[in-house]
């Protein structure tokens, strides 16, 4: 049986972005944050079809496979990230479980059981999280997502989910480190706080 700490360690050792692109908000999910999300989502992931929107180097895709997903769609627009993702899958023997789709999330159209995602936070391009949330609400009834832990973001996520017929459940708030190239600060790493949500359609 895989333990949460072990999962976090495996995920933090994966190959990361080589030259992260600020306009795409390419920062990988830290292993411990990803493991936390996957742990919370484990009941929904086991035996299910999962989509990872904006999969990047595949932290959540790999994690979903290790948590027993039947199949994972990794949707990512950047070919360089996809190369890294492919190597990460191969290094763990997971390529057979994952369908990698090089496209804009807006183009993804397969129905899945659950979406896991760490979308752009919208700090570089305001509202860049919206196409991710809209797509997730379109293709799944259960969505796990990571967003900035700020009052205005919380208000937006809640209203946007309810607008789409989803219940917003803020499950956990965690520290998240992002490289300074994504901010105007002097520090090498900036610590921010993020919220992990479960957004879901209430079963009738
Ligand atoms: N989910 C990954 C990466 C998060 S960074 C992880 O947890 O580590 C956000 C990712 O979304 C980046 O890889 C970026 O290239 C991708 N992305 C940004 N806009 C996109 C879009 N419109 N369609 C598909 N992918 C996009």
Parallel, antiparallel, or unpaired: how do β-strands 49-53 and 98-102 relate? Answer: unpaired
Cα torsion 115, 118, 122, 124: sign? negative
CA–CA dist 45, 15 (Å, integer): 23
DSSP letter for 159, please. H
With a 6 Å cutoff on the Cβ, whether 101 touches ligand 1 is no
What pLDDT is recorded for position 187? Answer: 65
Q: Residue 114 — pLDDT band, cuts 50, 70, 90?
A: very high
Ligand 1, atom 5, residue with closest C-alpha: 26
What pLDDT is recorded for position 185? Answer: 55
Distance 170 CA to ligand 1 centre (A): 22
Q: Identify the CA nearest to 92 among candidates 15, 162, 204, 164.
A: 15
> Which residue would you say has higher pLDDT here, 161 or 186?
161
Strand partners, 47: none
What pLDDT is recorded for position 37? Answer: 98
Distance 152 CA to ligand 1 centre (A): 22
Strand partners, 51: 73, 115
Q: Residue 186 — pLDDT band, cuts 50, 70, 90?
A: low
What pLDDT is recorded for position 76? Answer: 98
User: Does 184 score more than 60 pLDDT?
Assistant: no
CA–CA dist 71, 81 (Å, integer): 20
CA–CA dist 77, 97 (Å, integer): 20
Ligand 1, atom 10, residue with closest C-alpha: 54
Distance 53 CA to ligand 1 centre (A): 7
With a 6 Å cutoff on the Cβ, whether 28 touches ligand 1 is yes
Query: 177 vs 47, 145, 192, CA distance in Å?
Result: 31, 17, 6
CA–CA dist 182, 25 (Å, integer): 7
User: Does 19 score more than 90 pLDDT?
Assistant: no
Q: Residue 125 — pLDDT band, cuts 50, 70, 90?
A: confident
The answer to whether the CB of 66 falls within 8 A of the CB of 43 is no
Strand partners, 148: 194
Distance 204 CA to ligand 1 centre (A): 33
Share of the chain above pLDDT 90, in %: 80
* Average pLDDT rounded to a whole number, residues 134-154: 97
Distance 119 CA to ligand 1 centre (A): 6
With a 6 Å cutoff on the Cβ, whether 25 touches ligand 1 is yes
> Which residue would you say has higher pLDDT here, 21 or 141?
141
pTM: 0.95
Which ligand 1 atom is nearest residue 131's CA?
Answer: 22
Best mutation site among 76, 81, 82, 181 for ligand 1 pocket (most ligand atoms within 8 Å of CB)? 76
What pLDDT is recorded for position 204? Answer: 74
């Amino acid at each position: 049986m895989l333990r949460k700490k072990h999962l976090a360690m495996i995920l933090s050792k994966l190959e990361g972005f080589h030259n992260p692109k600020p306009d795409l908000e390419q920062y990988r999910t830290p292993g411990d944050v990803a493991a936390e999300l996957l742990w919370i989502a484990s009941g929904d992931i086991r035996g299910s079809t999962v989509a990872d929107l904006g999969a990047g180097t595949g932290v959540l895709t790999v994690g979903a496979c290790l948590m027993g997903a039947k199949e994972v769609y990794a949707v990512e627009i950047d070919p360089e990230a996809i190369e890294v993702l492919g190597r990460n899958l191969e290094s763990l023997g997971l390529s057979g479980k994952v369908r990698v789709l090089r496209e804009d999330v807006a183009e993804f159209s397969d129905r899945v059981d659950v979406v896991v995602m760490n979308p752009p936070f919208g700090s570089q391009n305001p509202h860049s999280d919206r196409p991710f949330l809209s797509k997730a609400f379109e293709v799944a009834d259960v969505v796990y997502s990571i967003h900035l832990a700020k009052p205005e973001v919380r208000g937006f996520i809640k209203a946007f989910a309810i607008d789409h017929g989803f219940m917003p459940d803020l499950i956990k708030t965690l520290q998240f480190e992002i490289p300074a190239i994504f901010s105007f600060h002097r520090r090498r790493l900036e610590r921010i706080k993020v919220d992990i949500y479960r957004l879901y359609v209430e079963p009738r």
